[in-house]
Amino acid sequence: MQNILFVSHCVLNTASKVVLYDKDEMEAEEALRRRFLQEAVLKGVQIIQLPCPEFTLYGARRWGHVSTQFDNPFFREHCRRLLEPIYLEIEEYLSHGERFCILGVLGIDGSPSCGVDYTGVGKWGGSFGGREDLQETLDSACMVQKRGVLMDVLEQGLKERGFAGRIPVIGLNAREPEKCMSLLRDLAKEE
């Protein structure tokens, strides 16, 4: 049986991420990411990378965003288009249950796109120049219990196709490392 895991783009390619300036947060997430990937590889898990809707729209020099900026029909449609081939892959793997087991989807908590349990929100928008309320706008950003936009669209698509409940969606979160590691817990190491 081949164990398959779908992962947010930046789990395998951190070069696609927005530059983080909180060194402690960045180091903790990186340590958990490496630990998770090492364990997955040791256990022979096949890893499929999801597309990054932020990178494909805004590239590598984008500013950090909050999910409230992305929660619009245009960004959601972009996510649906990117996920269409993923749904087909999932369907094909599920149709061969004697050969394949989909362990789940691993997102990145805190991401405006790939957050599973937590995402950033805020009253962001507009130009930085000449604003008298810039600090108030920056201070409005906070983490809330909510899905990022890509993960929300993914879950809706899984439900529409009858896959909901068959594929767990878990977030990588350095403050809750046991959650993502649970995807690998019951797997024996590959000999």
What would the mean pLDDT of 52-66 be, rounded to a whole number?
A: 87
Q: Which of 8-22, 36-50, 125-139, 161-175 has the lowest mean pLDDT?
A: 125-139
- In 24-172, at which residue ranges do the beta strands (DSSP E only) sit? 46-49, 100-108, 118-121, 142-145, 169-172
The alpha carbon dihedral of 39, 41, 46, 52 has a sign of positive
pTM: 0.90
* pLDDT of 57 over the 70 cut: yes
- pLDDT at residue 25, as a whole number: 79
What would the mean pLDDT of 75-99 be, rounded to a whole number?
A: 96
Give the tens place of pLDDT for each residue, 163-189.
988 899 999 999 999 999 999 987 766
Alpha helices in 95-172 (DSSP H): 134-139, 149-160
What would the mean pLDDT of 1-18 be, rounded to a whole number?
A: 91
